[in-house]
Amino acid sequence: MSSVFGSIFKVSTFGESHGEGLGCIIDGCPAGLALDAKDFLHDMARRRPGGSFASKRQEEDDVEILSGVFEKTTTGTPIALIIKNKDQRSQDYDDLANVFRPGHADYTYLAKYGIRDHRGGGRSSGRETAARVAAGVVAKKILFEIDVSIHAHVSAIGHVDTMDTDFTDNKAASKLIKQCFEEGNSIGSKITCIIKGLKPGIGTPVFDKLSADLAKAMMTIGGATGIDFGAGFDAVGRKASENNDGFKTEKDESGRIRKTGNNSGGIMGGISDGSDIYFNIAFKPPSSIALPQQTVDYNGNNVQLRIKGRHDPVIAPRACVVAEAMAAIVTVNHIFHSFSDSISCVKRAYFG
């Protein structure tokens, strides 16, 4: 099972939803970065279950630093982080031990490995993302040092557009989520993620495009069903004269080259163009619902299933910080790779 992501700034995650805990090992973080357990509190709270629009599972999600940090500063050696599970209720899944949940990875995991952890889905559970968020905190701290920031927000709940408002203040969105929750159902959603401050020239052409790596990263998040950059699929109905981003030179002393629009989403030819990078991620409705569903058991018998337990009625609200974490890890890797883009880059990095 592939649990390692990244090439220079490498993140390896471990743990299951109902195991003792989850965590990650970060290899490739530079020495000298300020890092303390308190740095993880904000983002871990954003992903944490509980609240009006999430599973009622109560987890503190405190991050413990096991290695790679001395006197609140990274040492350049592997950083090990762990998050203990404290409120797992495995008995809620006893009825699922020998049946395949529709929309989940139960059948495919068993087909691949011949064994599966039915307690919350094991590694296929959304709880796996807690380790990613922890790693993302470290990546975002690196980006903060060079004035690059990443922010994701909920831009749609079902067919309700929440792009220009906090979705929790959107009455139509809140009503839709509440309705689905009361029905024992769930709803699809969308996230928009924006990377600001990235200079032009970050990324590579052909197979390791910045856009391609971001797309892969987002599609590793459970429940993600699609991604588009900039104008995305809307570009299908446009002519090039409508979709091309023009260029202009700033009239101030900088003389910087700017674009007149941003239909490219900040990436051209797989390389950053200096504009804000933005993309949308679509998420399916969470698969665990209380309504009756048709499935089969391990013996091939047709059965009807009602899923019990504590589950999210919508994915996007808790997935925003996960998207930010994955985007940060990808961005850090591409920035680190850029240090060897040319001999002049090598000289600058070596001689300072």
Predicted confidence at residue 145, as pLDDT, reads: 98
C-beta neighbour count of 250 within 10 angstroms: 10
Structure-token match 């009622």, residue found:
56
Residue 263 to residue 216: CA distance in whole angstroms: 21
Q: Are 126 and 49 in contact (CB under 8 A)?
A: no
Predicted confidence at residue 121, as pLDDT, reads: 76
DSSP state of 349: H
Residue 114 to residue 122: CA distance in whole angstroms: 14
The full DSSP string for 177-215 is HHHHHHHT----EEEEEEEESPPTT-B-SGGG-HHHHHH
Q: Are 265 and 231 in contact (CB under 8 A)?
A: yes
Structure-token match 């090039």, residue found:
240
What separation in angstroms does the CA of 153 have from each of 36, 168, 281, 344? 26, 11, 10, 38
pLDDT tens profile 195-233: 999 999 999 999 999 999 999 999 999 999 999 999 999
For the chain, percent of residues with pLDDT exceeding 70: 94
**Domains of the chain and CATH, by start:** 4-230+265-351 (3.60.150.10)
Predicted confidence at residue 124, as pLDDT, reads: 85
pTM of the model: 0.93
Predicted confidence at residue 184, as pLDDT, reads: 92
pLDDT tens profile 264-305: 999 999 999 999 999 999 999 999 999 999 999 999 999 999
- Taking 50 as the pLDDT cut, the residues of the chain under it are none
